[in-house]
Amino acid sequence: MTADTSTCNPQLLLSHKFPETEFTYTERDVAVYALGVGACGRDAVDTDELKYVYHQNGQQFIKVLPTFSTLFNLRSVPLHRDLPGLKFDPRLLLHGQQYIEIYKPLPSNATIHNKVSLGGLHDKGKAAVLEIETKNYEKESGELLSMNRTSIFLRGAGGFSDPSQPFTYSNYPANQASAMRIPESQPFAVFEDCTQPPQALLYRLSGDYNPLHSDPMIAKVAGFSRPILHGLCTLGFAVRAIIKCICRGDPDMIKNISGRFLLHVYPGETLVIEMWLEGLRVMYRVKAKERNRAVLSGYVDLHRLAASL
């Protein structure tokens, strides 16, 4: 029996050239994003976080959180329609993982030139996993600032290859996608942070206007009791906690970030971020405290350790 190829033609997709895009932002966008991922949410004069929204102590530019780079991709990944060689229902799309590499501290205002390519494609039977890789260059200098790899779980788009030898393609080393186990030991640090009821409405101002995060009717159709928080917002909360607890407030210590989205978060829930330190790697897990459910896990690699640890 031949495999069903109606949903995907891998060779056509692999040969597709994604259009290059640009993303321009200002300090205002940087500050709105920081507020959207909870900066200064518990303390408006937090000495670790005021620098993300204000020229603290006379600093010339506000600091940029490394997860801000995920915004560069908003118009780079056209997931609202079919791609050449791949048919899918956007309503059945799930954001599975995010991987970020930071090569230079992000400027507080810039025009970003994005080069987009296929990072991976995997037939999982009833679903397909599509990975889009975006390299983010500062337009003026041509310097490579960051790379984002977004993994999308497309329900109903699998089954396009022989089940005994399912199709799989990756353009990156296997160790970047290796399975990660959370340690069973006590965490090195634990940080609690409260999302606010309008958290998703604030985060969406950074450009992700998916109505799943704002429209009660659409949320109910999707199976949720009310609009849910953006997964990348939860990732922003987690990395902020690591910067505060492990990096002692220095965002430039972040080298790369990996996150696997496990479960939705409702705005207003308390996030418990558990952190384990293994050399220069921080393993982390985020739980929704009220439901005692893990919602996100992953790791962050550092350039160095804070001297005060």
Residues with catalytic annotation?
Answer: 208, 213, 228, 231
State the Cα–Cα distance between residues 241 and 245, nearest whole angstrom.
6
Residue matched to tokens 């329900």 = 155
Residue matched to tokens 């994604």 = 18
Q: In angstroms, how far is CA 55 from the centroid of its own chain? A: 26
- The DSSP bridge partners found for residue 99 are 149, 258
Structure tokens, 100: 């970020």
For residue 115, give the 3-state DSSP assignment.
Answer: strand
Write the single-letter amino acid at 74: L
The H-or-E segment that residue 182 falls in is none
**197 contacts: CB under 8 Å, gap ≥ 6:** 267, 268
Sign of CA dihedral 90, 95, 101, 105: positive
Residue matched to tokens 């634990």 = 190
Structure tokens, 40: 């200064």
